[in-house]
Amino acid sequence: MLACSTIAVGRRLSHSIVILAGCLLWLTHPAFGQDDTAKPERYRLPPEAIANLIDAPPTPSVSLDPHRRWVLLLQRPSLPPISEIAQPEMRLAGRRINPRTNGRSRVSHYTGLTLERIADRSERPIKGLPEEPRLGSVRWSPNGERVAFTHTREGGIELWVADVATAQAKRITGPRLNAAYGSPCEWVSDNRTLICRLVPSDRGEAPEEPQVPSGPILRENIGKKAPARTYQDLLKNAHDEDLFDYYLTSSVVKVTLEGEITPLGKPGVIAGAEPAPNGKYILVETIHRPYSYLVPLHRFPRRVEVLDMTGRVAREIADLPLAEEVPIGFGAVPTGPRSFGWRADAPASVCWAEAQDGGDPRKEAEVRDRVYTLAAPFDGEPVALVSIGMRYAGIMWGNERLALVSEWWWKNRKTRTWSIDPSRPGSEPTLLIDRSFEDRYNDPGRPIMTDTLSGTSVLLTADAGNTLFLSGSGASPEGDRPFLDRFDLRTKEHKRLWRSEAPYYEYAVDLLDPDKMTALTRRETKTDPPNYFVRDLVSGDIQQITDFPHPAPQLTDVYKEMVRYERADGVKLTATLYLPPGKKPEDGPWPMLVWAYPQEYKSADAAGQMTDSPYRFVRTHSHSPLLWLVHGYAVLDDPTFPIVGEGDEEPNDTFIEQLVAGAKAAIDEMVRRGVADPDRVAVGGHSYGAFMTANLLAHSDLFRAGIARSGAYNRTLTPFGFQAEERTLWEAPDVYAAMSPFMHAEKVNEPILLIHGEADNNSGTYPMQSERYYNALKGHGATCRLVMLPHEAHGYRSRESVMHMAWEMTEWLDKYVKNAGPRGGTK
């Protein structure tokens, strides 16, 4: 008989374990598959070797000061306890807010700060930090003499500032910051003032939910098309609207280093408050009613204004309506101005883009977007800077004569970058880059930026503004080899300054001194963890400036190999093979875990390009399939499963066929190499990888078992598109049906483990997706298990949940893969 069970970890008995009536198969562990209804389920721990990897200490993050003199080391904690994840949470218009702090819930934090001088490697821990620090929103002052950060404690979020010269921190405000949406504070260019958003002092108590409704909830549409993707955490009623106003309303204020607070303008639902480079104005975006129950807050009406430093409105730039009617499709945007920001190289000039095609990518148009600017004192008309034929992707400012404008288009996967002269609005731009963004081999890299005295970032140039510096991943048939180039804007020629060499994977974090040609790089090998170095690009000399230790020495002698093989149709594929510590390929075969995530392409050549590097450091994380290396499994990590649709063909028209062909090619190659036992291979994935897993079990017999975490399995529940699919359910019903594992549940004849967070907030992956798919499998007698993790979102954060996930996966893999008999035996 086939067994099916569902587990809600940590729930009460009545909700904890439901066993399919008539199931006779009992698994070996008393809480795993057995009719154990006498006691509730509890969190479990995986084998000690796996648990130790999960608990490995995180490596500090690094932040470079604006003048490249200091690096700030930010210490990170291990996984938080479930008690932290279980704190109260308001889910409003796509935001998740902790009502106890008025900040985002589920946010990561730092526990310590240390300054290290690049010149001599001297370290200075920041003193005076609060007890049990929970630090975030770290911001260097424009002159690099101070660091601002927040501290979250019970009751609210405080502003703190550390002085670099003394390495001493002090609190600036009490727990009044409103961090529910965006960064709560930004430096002004005077280096002594910050623009912050505070909870209004007279806010009062949160609105209580009415016990008796005043009437029904009404929603009406009269002939307008308002398609929307499957968003979560939307507003549902008038009480939600009141809560949204309560928690997101803030006052924009000036805060000095002495703690003096000056209000600016009226309180509102402030989406952004950014000071101008000259420190005399603030660009403020305010969300206002009417709100929507169909789309999240980034599509709500908003007013964009420029305020002076007294709070007076210098100019209203735009008052944008509710954007429910944005067309479906990549490249669809709202009508009207969007993407507001200050021009980084000018004292006070606002920049934005505006669609010229109604925001609809399906319409034919010579000009898709136009970029406008408006300079202080903001009393004239906006100036059209440049018109582009594809969708605006951003602008990098250089100086009064140089800026780079980027555009992209999804249908043909094109991206272009133009050089423009901002001093001559409307003049003919110069094309610098024209390529497919799928083509990694021909990616010229991204320009290196430098910080200004105003706190903005502009293009780093040389030769009187004629030379840029480009840093890229250096994708090649031998793997990624990061590089640093000079690029001549006049000749469009590249000159290679440096390239990563085997056996290292090293990339340029920043160019420290373009005159001395020194760069800050991050270097690693398969066995040496990433550390930071100062590299002389002329002599090749390097100086190490951090000494982060190996977080998991037990993985030092893990075998790693980049593998190349072909699909039956000739598309080249890539995967990374890992073997258990101390093992070599000739010691095989092993039970194998294949962990993957499909990706769509318009070009078979681009799909077949090499990804990643064979010299990257072997490090696990809490969700990594590499955890099972220490439990005797070989792991094929991230094998490419490209779904190609060249020309007028859509990739998903042959999704199943290409998916199965990619999986077969991977297994065949691993068996040929002698590292995998074809009777003991499992497949797994997270999110779209879970969707992939369910499809592979339904449409092939290549695997003995599957593990699907936080997936979506019924595409009729995401009818207005999903992943890279732009067509709606009504435009491509056969594609939606063919790609939905839910529609093919009767074909699944291998064991499948489903894991899902009960508070999943990802678009399309409702917890209901796993619950209904489990019911469909159960109804057809499949061997399956459903684990719902309380309080967890799309990614699992608490130590208890992550440990239990690892326990579930270990038990499943051992039962149905490692210890499985040959195919054809009785299940």
Residue found by looking up tokens 């405000």 in the block: 173
**What pLDDT digit, counting tens, does each position of 136-156 carry?**
999 999 999 999 999 999 899
Q: How far is CA 567 from CA 400, 599, 607, 639, in A?
A: 51, 15, 11, 12
Handedness of CA 208, 211, 214, 218 (dihedral sign): positive
**What pLDDT digit, counting tens, does each position of 725-748 carry?**
999 999 999 999 999 999 999 999
**Options 760, 798, 801, 804, the catalytic residue:** 760
**What pLDDT digit, counting tens, does each position of 758-778 carry?**
999 999 999 999 999 999 999
**What pLDDT digit, counting tens, does each position of 666-677 carry?**
999 999 999 999
Which DSSP string do the residues of 315-361 spell out, in sequence order? EEEEEEPP---PPSSTT---SSEEEEEE-TTSSSEEEEEEESSTT-T
Measure the CA–CA gap between 397 and 258, rounded to whole angstroms.
Answer: 34
Residue 7 has pLDDT above 70, yes or no: no
User: String of b and e for 556-569 (b: at least 16 CB within 10 Å)?
Assistant: eebbbebbebebee
Which DSSP string do the residues of 230-280 spell out, in sequence order? ---S---SHHHHHHHHHHHEEEEEEEETT--EEE-S--EEEEEEEE-TTSS
Angle, nearest 10°, between helix axes 688-699 and 655-672? Answer: 80
**What pLDDT digit, counting tens, does each position of 234-284 carry?**
999 999 999 999 999 999 999 999 999 999 999 999 999 999 999 999 999
Instruction: Give every CB contact of residue 57 below 8 A, 6+ residues apart in sequence.
Output: 78, 551
What pLDDT does 22 receive? Answer: 33
Measure the CA–CA gap between 83 and 793, rounded to whole angstroms.
Answer: 15
Flag the least confident range among 89-93, 227-231, 607-611, 703-707: 227-231
659 membership: H or E segment, kind and range? helix 655-672
Quick one: average pLDDT of 581-602? 97
Q: Using an 8 Å Cβ cutoff, are 196 and 173 in contact?
A: yes
Handedness of CA 120, 123, 128, 130 (dihedral sign): positive
For the question of residue 794 being annotated catalytic, the response is yes
Q: Using an 8 Å Cβ cutoff, are 294 and 228 in contact?
A: yes
**What pLDDT digit, counting tens, does each position of 157-169 carry?**
999 999 999 999 9
pLDDT, greater one: 602 or 822: 602
Confidence class for position 232, pLDDT limits 50, 70, 90: very high
Instruction: Give every CB contact of residue 440 below 8 A, 6+ residues apart in sequence.
Output: 473, 475, 606, 609, 611
**Options 137, 687, 740, 770, the catalytic residue:** 687
Quick one: average pLDDT of 210-234? 90
What pLDDT does 36 receive? Answer: 39
Measure the CA–CA gap between 288 and 433, rounded to whole angstroms.
Answer: 40
What pLDDT does 224 receive? Answer: 87
Tokens representing 610 are: 């090499």
Report the length, in residues, of the chain.
827
**What pLDDT digit, counting tens, does each position of 778-813 carry?**
999 999 999 999 999 999 999 999 999 999 999 999
What pLDDT does 82 receive? Answer: 97
For the question of residue 515 being annotated catalytic, the response is no
Which DSSP string do the residues of 532-565 spell out, in sequence order? EEEEETTT--EEE---PPPS-GGGTT-EEEEEEE
What pLDDT does 823 receive? Answer: 83
Handedness of CA 559, 562, 566, 571 (dihedral sign): positive
Q: How far is CA 431 from the centre of its chain?
A: 30
396 membership: H or E segment, kind and range? strand 391-399
Residue 56 has pLDDT above 60, yes or no: yes
Q: Using an 8 Å Cβ cutoff, are 644 and 658 in contact?
A: yes
Q: Rounded to two decimals, what is the model's pTM?
A: 0.94
